[in-house]
Structure 1
């Protein structure tokens, strides 16, 4: 009679080769014996008895009998239930003969905590399942070779004995009155033993398919287990631990209750990817005199159905060892703490708060599967968890997402997936100056992952570097869900649909970096006439091709909150800032110009004949980024933007910002430099009379037109000047102090102000000499050491203006 248990496929016990004078009773005889055992009320034909249905042991006993009347079906169901109850009673009694003495070996059964009994049931179910599956695999791959038949059958029988241990604990021990109340309490979620109870129910479901096989092998009149050396113990022996070792081998209090100490199978709240029995050895490398302690444990890899992190749990059969390995460092050990010893098929864990090592030895097959799972976990953590130089910006479950790859297929589903997780991270790097360190923007990284309620996790991750513009489209689904289409690269794109417009606005704003984050100020907004980028490195007024002109736009300046400023008074918050940026938004996209500058990096220039324009000179810059509305730009324009971004990263560039009014320009200038403009006007002459004659042939410089600004930050005052067609210099700036002597003056019909003994440095070109092209822009923060002491006269024609009021 061919019989197939529920799971896994059976291993035929009828052909097993047992020792001489020992034969396993065929299943048909087992049925007859169990029918006889279940006869109630006496013996003989006249005795009243309850028999199982005739086809109970057949493969089709669970099929419905649609052709039979309803009364017969009800009676048949009643008889079947009675047969099941009696069958379990007889099986329990027979298994008690095998295991009862081993249950009492360590301590009375009533003194064993409920959690230990639950662990023991899971423990032996895992052991039995592993043996049966291993032997089934050997039979399928290598065939039934005669020399291995006896060994294989012994392994199969030991596997059934292990399953029988779990079955006996579940149906005998845990049904005792002393455990009934606590077992009922375990059904409540989020209680200490509820996760273990779920695994206990998974064990019950699995063992149901092996009940007849266990009965055939262990409960016949010819008890083969009595003549074969099998492992019938229920409890594993463990060494005695001191208080210190016991503390470092138990971090279960750091882990939430939803994860059990050991797992057998999937439940409604948990996915179990693998559970294996291992040998863990506690080693004290700092104190070789301490003996090594070895523990037989179970290592389980599992994930909650509502959790994104996969954890590993190493636990002993009793409540002695309980170590969790997870993704969050705040909770203890993480997967990066595990070192893999491939040669020894083991993993080594350095326990926190001690120098103690735990070496976990696995079998060759178990090591291969566990290492593969751990490798996948680490890869997922690398994608999903923010690294040391990354900052999480966005982490939400979106309504649906569809990932499109025109290049090659990936593991992510091609069709739209609901409830995907979308994460956006900012990539940073640390740069060092002589005055300190700061973080600079190095692009974004976006991750899309399938929802956690799916057992197999799929994810895709894409870097969004500053060297390429981010192309996007705003769209709506058929059900009016707000959507965002991101063109991740030339071959990949992603449709992301969110629950509400606010969520789309948030994600879109974070992609443009136009939203103030924690510790940043509210944006200062300016209306600008144009924003252009010129790749010419010098000459503020020379003709040059504008590589990009945004036209009329809105400029927003975002900076660190002033109350969080912890720097000294010499440098303002715009220097060494990690937050200062200008976001230009126009009809076709946006430009995010990060001015988080180091000392001397940002220089400015002011045109003589255009009061509403300012030039910002920048060295090669890697943190400027752009985004474009894909539907509003041509492919040619998109290619030009890409080339411009790549050039900005390697060559100096100039930002030319034109405002509608001079007042707007002054407000913007203060926002990006930290200096407030007190005066801005044109001088008819700028006269310098030297006191130190380093160049004896030149005693005086005189210009016929200059743009003058008096600027202030804190207690510092500066004069900056830009000259028109002056052959010696193009610009000059120096600081005004309270010790400087100033006076009004009139000369040849002109009025002005004289600053006596002004201290400044001669402008030098990049080579450090006075020869060649001189700079056309000024650094406001790092003034060169003043080598010159001269009288400076600034003349304004007939009217001095407001400059004298401040001087």
Structure 2
């Protein structure tokens, strides 16, 4: 900024003008939810005094963002088509620029004398285009100051604004008169922008006769082109070799094919490829490694812009003559100095660039940087997270409570939004080693990068909370509606995709279901699931809340159990290949077709259950019951009861959990263990009646185990041990007319009888890991019918010797 500009205390930010004049070519229109530096600053280059008003942006900076997951306010301005070009002609039909040219005759003489003194009349047309753009931006900056502070016509800043307006017009007319190869289109854009600025000033009565202000400021900078120093060879070498991080472009060292056009270096408005959010005049100082004082100092224009294909804005700093151009991504390593307000950028090879800004511009730009970092962070995996879903939604509509201060995502349907789902998995240490625990999901949605104002919204899902969804629409307009929060503070999001598969993939991701390419270990029909503190019993009157999901089937994968229903899905994460599961079967088989087959699984505390429910199918009261069932699963000890209509379905499910197939499943009339008394050769019998037996075999067929579940056996509720091909098995017929098999000198471990209230292990067996077989005694198993005895013996690993009656 010219040294002659006087600083003054501006109005408080909350008293600023309600309209921010402009258009895509001139000043920008009113920004209601705009970039902080546009909201707070009357100018992006006016160096304010340190007043209460100028400290206000710093207070905002210290507050920063509260990092709420639903915070969506963006400091980037929204698009607007407001145009202030109405009335571009005067009452008598004279063009406002023609009027300005006529009234600024004396100023034009001063500009011509300055140009002759600078000997710049023979500059190429491209340089004249940059100069015209430079002074137009300077005019726009000064008009912002005047409008924001409501400065009177007699104020020096207001008069300097008119001088810069006249200077821009003189440059345009002189350039067009000198050049043989005129750039009519480029100069036409600048001229249109100048016309809009002049018309705005005329409407606000800010134009005075130029003759009265032509000689008021003898120290006004009437020069046409900014004078820049020449780089030393060392600086040139350092800048030309800088090819990482900050991009450096110099017109003297690069061919014309690499030279950025004026519309990029000194942007007036958005282009077909780029959004321009702000422009401000700064001073750039270059420091060499061995010097404390700056070697060079450049007046430059800093613009904040973003490519329409990128999510991150960038800073472009350019001199008037394109000698120096620095392209700095906002997510790069930038040092922010509070006093003085400056940015420090390491160019390379010992050269550092320091960008000096006004206080308003500094804190506003810092706010942009913070928001950019905030946005970038929300769209990337956090510690322990993994990206499991990414797609572009055809349309997203987000609604939040009116009282929510964080509702900044567009309320209307927004097209082409970026949708990402992250899964949070933490690794914990336990007595058995490391284990992974799922901690829910995070849904992040960002508006289309091709829109000017990037907005986003994040929501955590799962981890003890119901995931509420609804499949809506039909034909080619099918959507997925998600709900978040409690009643009264509920937010919702409706997402539409180009294909139904993407919609289902998103639902599958947020409910924890495995990839569609993963093959299930088993897939069987399921009638009911019960979660309780103790051991539930089959009852036709008991209705589990989970049954309200309309259960259809249960699928077992290596890392999870998926329970699917017509109204929802339940995901139980467990590594069935390595996790120890203790199971229990009822001591007898169902006697009527109405009774279901039940498998009980003992579970420790579990917090990684995920349940998704269809809101359209399940009442709110039932949803509350399902939420209570999720909380119950997080208790230290619970029992999961799976009920099946057919026994073979239970066997397939059990085989998927244990890795062993069930060969025999039935019940015996008696189960007795021969016990020899201490020191005397006298045997007693520990006998149990009504015993359920299972013979299971490992996948490779080498390990065969016998499991027994007792009804009334005071020594144990269940036991399991391995039977080997080397063991001796003998069949017999008892004098009571029963048919049995004796396991000679069986080797087993008698389980310790405990109450469920003590440790929850009573009657639950581990089919994978056996206890040490410390017992060596005969075991006799009797059946009421011979056919049942022969069926049992068929699955033993060795032939059964036939004995006489015992």
- Report the TM-score when normalising by structure 2: 0.66
Please name the residue that 2:610 is paired with: 625
Q: Report the Cα offset of residue 365 of structure 1.
A: 0.8
Q: Could you say if the C-alpha distance between residues 414 and 237 of structure 1 is closer, same or farther in structure 2, counting changes exceeding 3 Å?
A: closer
The Cα offsets for residues 523-579 of structure 1, whole Å up to 9 and x where unpaired, read as: 4663424232222256888999664342773335364xxxxxxxxxxxxxx4xxxxx
The answer to whether the 8 A contact 1:92-1:172 is kept is: no
Which residue among 371, 374, 398 is the counterpart of 2:369? 374
The Cα offsets for residues 374-404 of structure 1, whole Å up to 9 and x where unpaired, read as: 3333343344444342525243232452525
The answer to whether the 8 A contact 1:274-1:302 is kept is: yes
The answer as to 2:644 corresponding to 1:659 is: yes
Instruction: Within 5 Å, give how 1:110-121 maps onto structure 2.
Output: none
Q: Report the Cα offset of residue 364 of structure 1.
A: 0.2
**Cα distance between partner residues in 1 of 2:244 and 2:91:** 47
The answer to whether the 8 A contact 1:395-1:424 is kept is: yes
Instruction: Within 5 Å, give how 1:153-172 maps onto structure 2.
Output: 155-156=160-161, 159-160=164-165, 163=168, 167=172, 171=176
Please name the residue that 1:129 is paired with: 140
The Cα offsets for residues 487-509 of structure 1, whole Å up to 9 and x where unpaired, read as: 32323333444555444444444
Secondary structure of the structure 1 residue equivalent to 2:90: coil
Please name the residue that 1:31 is paired with: none
The answer to whether the 8 A contact 1:688-1:791 is kept is: yes
Please name the residue that 2:715 is paired with: 728
Q: Could you say if the C-alpha distance between residues 58 and 553 of structure 1 is closer, same or farther in structure 2, counting changes exceeding 3 Å?
A: closer
**Cα distance between partner residues in 2 of 1:650 and 1:355:** 61
**Cα distance between partner residues in 2 of 1:452 and 1:512:** 28
**Cα distance between partner residues in 1 of 2:354 and 2:661:** 65
Instruction: Within 5 Å, give how 1:683-698 maps onto structure 2.
Output: none
Please name the residue that 2:491 is paired with: 492
Please name the residue that 1:324 is paired with: 328
Unaligned 5+ residue runs, structure 1? 10-54, 64-79, 185-196, 327-333, 560-573, 575-579
The answer to whether the 8 A contact 2:461-2:510 is kept is: no
Unaligned 5+ residue runs, structure 2? 1-20, 29-86, 250-257, 591-596, 784-788, 800-806
The Cα offsets for residues 628-666 of structure 1, whole Å up to 9 and x where unpaired, read as: 222332332122112222222234333222233333333
**Cα distance between partner residues in 2 of 1:492 and 1:96:** 64
The answer as to 2:696 corresponding to 1:710 is: yes
Task: Pick which of 637-646 and 612-621 moved more.
Answer: 612-621
The Cα offsets for residues 332-360 of structure 1, whole Å up to 9 and x where unpaired, read as: xx26x556544543456688x99998765
Instruction: Within 5 Å, give how 1:498-537 maps onto structure 2.
Output: 498-499=497-498, 501-514=500-513, 516=515, 521-523=518-520, 526-537=523-534
The answer to whether the 8 A contact 1:202-1:266 is kept is: no
Please name the residue that 1:557 is paired with: 555
Q: Could you say if the C-alpha distance between residues 58 and 635 of structure 1 is closer, same or farther in structure 2, counting changes exceeding 3 Å?
A: closer
**Cα distance between partner residues in 2 of 1:481 and 1:613:** 43
The answer to whether the 8 A contact 2:709-2:763 is kept is: no
The answer to whether the 8 A contact 1:603-1:780 is kept is: yes
Please name the residue that 1:433 is paired with: 429
Instruction: Within 5 Å, give how 1:410-429 maps onto structure 2.
Output: 411-412=407-408, 416-419=412-415, 421=417, 423-429=419-425
The Cα offsets for residues 452-473 of structure 1, whole Å up to 9 and x where unpaired, read as: 5543344443332332323333
The answer as to 2:724 corresponding to 1:719 is: no
Please name the residue that 2:585 is paired with: 606
Please name the residue that 2:625 is paired with: 640
Please name the residue that 1:468 is paired with: 465
Q: Could you say if the C-alpha distance between residues 254 and 512 of structure 1 is closer, same or farther in structure 2, counting changes exceeding 3 Å?
A: farther
Q: Could you say if the C-alpha distance between residues 522 and 542 of structure 1 is closer, same or farther in structure 2, counting changes exceeding 3 Å?
A: same
Secondary structure of the structure 1 residue equivalent to 2:796: helix
**Cα distance between partner residues in 2 of 1:602 and 1:57:** 86
Q: Report the Cα offset of residue 626 of structure 1.
A: 1.9
The answer to whether the 8 A contact 1:427-1:442 is kept is: yes
Q: Report the Cα offset of residue 736 of structure 1.
A: 7.1
The answer as to 2:387 corresponding to 1:387 is: no
Which residue among 779, 793, 801 is the counterpart of 1:801? 793
**Cα distance between partner residues in 1 of 2:764 and 2:335:** 55
**Cα distance between partner residues in 2 of 1:245 and 1:646:** 62
**Cα distance between partner residues in 1 of 2:242 and 2:653:** 59
**Cα distance between partner residues in 2 of 1:475 and 1:89:** 69
The answer as to 2:314 corresponding to 1:312 is: yes
The answer to whether the 8 A contact 1:217-1:224 is kept is: no
Please name the residue that 1:444 is paired with: 441
Please name the residue that 1:26 is paired with: none
Q: Report the Cα offset of residue 366 of structure 1.
A: 0.1
Aligned residues: 673
Please name the residue that 2:43 is paired with: none
The answer to whether the 8 A contact 2:97-2:198 is kept is: no
Instruction: Within 5 Å, give how 1:13-32 maps onto structure 2.
Output: none
Q: Could you say if the C-alpha distance between residues 637 and 232 of structure 1 is closer, same or farther in structure 2, counting changes exceeding 3 Å?
A: same
Instruction: Within 5 Å, give how 1:149-548 maps onto structure 2.
Output: 149-150=155-156, 152=157, 155-156=160-161, 159-160=164-165, 163=168, 167=172, 171=176, 177=181, 203=190, 205-209=192-196, 228-230=220-222, 232-234=224-226, 236-237=228-229, 239=231, 240-241=234-235, 246-248=240-242, 250-251=244-245, 260=264, 263-279=267-283, 296=298, 298-305=301-308, 307=309, 309-317=311-319, 318=322, 322-325=326-329, 334=331, 337-338=333-334, 340-342=336-338, 344-347=340-343, 360-388=355-383, 389-399=385-395, 401=397, 403=399, 405=401, 408=404, 411-412=407-408, 416-419=412-415, 421=417, 423-433=419-429, 439-452=436-449, 454-476=451-473, 481-489=477-485, 490=487, 491-499=490-498, 501-514=500-513, 516=515, 521-523=518-520, 526-537=523-534, 547-548=544-545
The answer to whether the 8 A contact 2:416-2:447 is kept is: yes
**Cα distance between partner residues in 2 of 1:394 and 1:499:** 14
**Cα distance between partner residues in 2 of 1:789 and 1:289:** 87
If asked which structure has higher relative contact order (CA below 8 Å, sep 6+), I would say: 2
**Cα distance between partner residues in 1 of 2:129 and 2:671:** 92
The answer to whether the 8 A contact 1:533-1:656 is kept is: yes
Secondary structure of the structure 2 residue equivalent to 1:267: coil
**Cα distance between partner residues in 2 of 1:650 and 1:714:** 37
Q: Could you say if the C-alpha distance between residues 225 and 495 of structure 1 is closer, same or farther in structure 2, counting changes exceeding 3 Å?
A: same
**Cα distance between partner residues in 1 of 2:677 and 2:357:** 83
Q: Report the Cα offset of residue 430 of structure 1.
A: 1.2
Please name the residue that 2:84 is paired with: none
Please name the residue that 1:590 is paired with: 569
The Cα offsets for residues 284-325 of structure 1, whole Å up to 9 and x where unpaired, read as: 9xx8889877764554322344x4613122434346553432
Q: Could you say if the C-alpha distance between residues 281 and 390 of structure 1 is closer, same or farther in structure 2, counting changes exceeding 3 Å?
A: farther
**Cα distance between partner residues in 1 of 2:524 and 2:533:** 25
The answer to whether the 8 A contact 1:606-1:722 is kept is: no
**Cα distance between partner residues in 1 of 2:654 and 2:119:** 83
The answer to whether the 8 A contact 1:526-1:556 is kept is: yes
**Cα distance between partner residues in 2 of 1:671 and 1:242:** 70
The answer to whether the 8 A contact 2:282-2:301 is kept is: yes
Secondary structure of the structure 1 residue equivalent to 2:793: coil
Secondary structure of the structure 1 residue equivalent to 2:635: coil
Instruction: Within 5 Å, give how 1:35-46 maps onto structure 2.
Output: none
Q: Could you say if the C-alpha distance between residues 241 and 732 of structure 1 is closer, same or farther in structure 2, counting changes exceeding 3 Å?
A: farther
**Cα distance between partner residues in 2 of 1:507 and 1:128:** 51
